[in-house]
Structure 1
C-alpha cells in the first residue's frame, strides 16, 4: 500500500485510532516494515521522522489489541479504514502531501 509521509504520520499520531475514550491504549503495531523513498525500514519509531512528501509503502505490519492480544488487522487494512473515515478535505490534503498553513 502506497501513501506519503504526512498521511502516515497523521494516522500514527491520531489518538482516536489507538486509544479508547478513557485514553487507555487499545492497539499496537508489530512486525512493521516500510519502504521510504525506496529504502526499507523496520521500525515504527521512524514514522515520526518522515518528511511530509516522502514516498512511503507499507510492506508489512500487524495491529494487535491490548484487550485480547489478538490481531485486529494488517497495518495496511487499518490505515485504509482510517483514510475512509477522514472527511473529504482531509483526505485530499493527505493524498497531496500538503498541509494547511495558518
Structure 2
C-alpha cells in the first residue's frame, strides 16, 4: 500500500499506483478529496500533455500546487489519465 501524507494527514492511499518518471500516480478514487482544491496553474509536458494542479489544505495551512494530474493526457500517457502525483513536501511511501 502506497500512502501520500502531508501535515500529519493521509492525502491518498492505494495499492494500485502507477509509477511514471519516478513519481507515484494515485488513482483519483484513492484521494481524500476534502484536502484538495483546484488550482489555476497549468503546465505542459511534451509527451504527457497539459497538466492541472491541486492545492492542499490541512489545518489552515495551504501547500500551493502540491499535487498534479493529467485530465486528458496524450496517447503515450493514457494510463495515468486523472491519476494524481505529489511534490512540495508531500511524503509518498
Higher share of residues assigned strand = 2
Whose relative contact order is higher, 1 or 2, with alpha carbons under 8 Å and at least 6 apart?
1
Which band: TM-score by shorter chain?
A: 0.3 to 0.5
Higher share of residues assigned helix = 1
TM-score, normalised via structure 2 length? 0.33
TM-score, normalised via structure 1 length? 0.31
